[in-house]
Structures are given as structure tokens and as C-alpha cells.
Amino acid sequence: MTISLRQAAGELLVVGLGGTELTGLERAWLKLVRPGGVILFKRNIVDAAQTRALLDEATQMCAPRTVRCVDVEGGTVNRLRDALAPLPSAQAVGAAMRDLHKPTLAREFGELIARAVKVFGFNTTLAPVIDLALPEAAEVLGSRPPGANAQDVIAFARAFFAGLATQGVVGCGKHFPGLGGATGDTHFVTPEIARTWQQIWNEDLVPYRELHAEMPMVMMNHAAYPATPGGNRPASASDFWITKVLRKRIGYRGIILSDDLEMGGILKFLPVEEAAIAAVRAGSDLLEICHSAELILRSYEALVAEAERSAVFRKLLLERARSTARMRARLYAKPAPRALTAKQLDALRAQILKFRDRVAASEAAAIDPRAAAPAEIS
């Protein structure tokens, strides 16, 4: 497959949009960049018909087999809450699985989320969170992790991924290598997680080690782990964490996605141009930039310029774009499903609310995050 440097740079980007309709400026830069993916937020979503129309128009100007992604984890992170229905948190569903001895609840949860995101035209949900619910991060992560130990997280995530798969929706395990020990929020700072390599390998990374063949996509976080060989470098820009640990030691073969490169956790360490180049060098396949057209274009031009300057990086960029395109072609081979009728949409909403009621007692005991970060509410 012949591909230009500009095509290669664009295909590694997953971009956000400003509103519920494309602007003329967005149409212009989408045609220039031709990104590999689009991510929408609450600010972009009114209802299913409008969202599908927005995605359809945007992806006509993107690379083939576009990643159409949204954050629907349940609980506090659910971009479809207002447009469809609130969902219980992963922590509530995990607790209900254990308390009610119903291991199939997470599979049912995954299937409901998959059906919901498909209605709106998405093919990917950036879930589940498989961080451990450790005390250090309780106020930062809140009810997002499904359990406090690796085995509970594995049981939830395996069933959740299976539920997504029944509907042909791609899931994403996050946030590698684990935010369970984070006392700071990567939206604002680069947390320095004090856990040792042995703690991380024997606890935080166990879900990735067990489930790596079942996860189509993994998201890298922007935390640093100074007590490990990764040092003070954010994991999203670290060859140690991405290539040496995730790819080689764990053997992961799916898509590696950076968390949003606009977040303080990475921008306080590197300018966005350098962060994009560092993430590709370290081994990421896709780079999220969720809000600013300026930062999207700066990152895109930086990748192209570095490839023109360095023969080594040029070869890497072209190879990464080709391999990522092959993975997208495999994951997104089927066309978007047909829209539901109003009656079918109401039936799905009723099923979601009924499911929420079944786990409501557990959800009432879950911890909410200390403060809603912009990326969680926008």
C-alpha cells in the first residue's frame, strides 16, 4: 500500500469537533488532515439522528474505516446520559456481580452500552476502565474502576468485552499501566505514582496480562512512575511502557491509543508537537486530540516535518500508519448499522433504566470523583 507522509500523519490522529454540526473551518482541516478517527463528547450530541449525521459527514473526510469513538463507561462518564439514559457505574455493576452472585451482569452491561453507542453511529466505546480501585485514587477515579483487586477487574472486563463483541462494538482497556495509585488527575497534572515495578507487574498489570488477547484497543495514560525503569516520563511518551512492557513483555497486538494530548498530564511535560512525535516513537498507533483545531494541526504538521527531517522517523511513521490501517480494516469491516425507529429507541431506553434499577443499591454506595474534569463533562 502506497501512502504519503501527510496521509500517514493524518491516519494516526483521532480528533474532536467543536459542536453539533461541522463548521466550514472544520470541513477544511478535516479534508487536509484526513484523520484515522473522530471522538465526540456531550457538546457534540443532541440525539441519535443528529449524531449519526455529524459522524457520517465528518468521516466522509477521514481515512477509510474510521474509528468513531465515544466515552461511555457508565456512571459519571457517559456522553449519552442526556440524549438516551443514565447508566450505572462500572463499580456498581462489579459490586452487584459479586453481591448478587450474577457474573453475567457485566456482559449484559457491555451489550447494553454497545447497543446504545451503535444507535448513535459509533463503532467504539473507550471502556472499560481496568485501573484498580485503590485508596490513593479513590477521589480521582471515583466509581470508574470495577474492583479493587485484579481478579475482580478481570471478571468484569472479560464479560464486558464479550458483551461489546456481541454487537460488533470495539472496546478499549484503560488507563495503561494503571492509575490506581494516582493522587492527581492527569487532566491537570502529571501524577507521580509511587508504586514499584513489582507492585505494578503483580497487581495493576495483571488485567492486561490476562486479557491482552481480548482487548481490541488499549489507552495509555499520562502518569509517571518514578520508582520503575519508566522514570519521570509520562507513560504515553514512554518506550519502556509502550514497547518494552505492553508490546514485548505482555505481547499485546491490538491498537495502542494515547489519552488526549491536550491534557495537562502530557502538556506540562512536553509541547503538543513534541508529545505527538514522542508518542509515535514510543509505540502508539493512534493519538487523541479532543478539542483544539490548532493543536490538531500543530501535531499533524509536526509529524510531517519530523518525517521529512529524519529518515528513521519517516520509516516509522509510514510503517505505523500501514499497520494501524490494517487493524482498523479488520476491526471496522462492517458498515454502520441502520438507525432505530422511535419505538425501538424507547425500548432500548427502558431496558437501560431497568438494568440501572437492578444495580441501584450498589451504585448508591459508590464513590464519586472529587471534581468533574473538563473531559468528563464536555
- Catalytic residues, by residue number, are 187, 259
Phi, psi angles (nearest 5°) of residue 55: -65, -40
Whether residue 369 is preceded by a cis peptide bond, meaning omega within 30 degrees of 0, is no
Residues with Cβ within 8 Å of 347's Cβ and at least 6 positions away in sequence, in order, are none
Q: How far apart are CA 307 and CA 46, in angstroms?
A: 40
Distance, C-alpha 337 to centroid of its chain: 21
- Please report, for residues 17, 31, 58, 62, 103, the alpha-carbon distance to residue 55 in angstroms, rounded to integers and kept in the order given: 10, 14, 5, 10, 35
Give the DSSP H or E segment for 125. strand 124-125
Closest listed residue to residue 375, CA positions, set 289, 293, 299:
289
Q: How far apart are CA 239 and CA 284, in angstroms?
A: 9
- Please report, for residues 47, 276, 350, the alpha-carbon distance to residue 108 in angstroms, rounded to integers and kept in the order given: 23, 37, 14
Residues with Cβ within 8 Å of 215's Cβ and at least 6 positions away in sequence, in order, are 161, 171, 172, 173, 208, 252, 254
267 grid coordinates: 502538556
Distance, C-alpha 67 to centroid of its chain: 11
Q: How far apart are CA 138 and CA 185, in angstroms?
A: 11
329 grid coordinates: 480494516
